[in-house]
Amino acid sequence: MKKSKFIEKIKEALEIDSNEKITEDSGLRDLEEYDSLGVLTIIMMIDENFGKQLSSSDFEKITTVGSLMKLIGEENFE
């Protein structure tokens, strides 16, 4: 999956306006829409798109969009 497509899916999961700029360096906890429901939605999106099952405890060590991508596996991104 292209990194830009993954970022779009994060924005969809968190219901972030499509015009808002998010990059790999964006802090997840800095996003106003990032909450427990958002985490669950992201977990489901990752399972559907990558077949990788994460838990909410995995998100304790994730700080940025890029660190989430590393946890999923950089080989999954173009």
Q: pLDDT tens for residues 37-66?
A: 999 999 999 999 999 999 989 998 899 999
Is pTM beyond 0.85? Reply is yes
HEC assignment per residue over the chain: CCHHHHHHHHHHHCCCCCCCCCCCCCEHHHCCCCCHHHHHHHHHHHHHHHCCCCCHHHHHCCCEHHHHHHHHCHHHCC
4-38 pLDDT, tens digit each: 999 999 999 999 998 999 999 999 999 999 999 99
CATH number at residue 38: 1.10.1200.10
Query: What is the domain extent for residue 30?
Result: 3-76
Q: How far apart are CA 75 and CA 54, in angstroms?
A: 17
Instruction: Give how many domains the chain has, as a whole number.
Output: 1
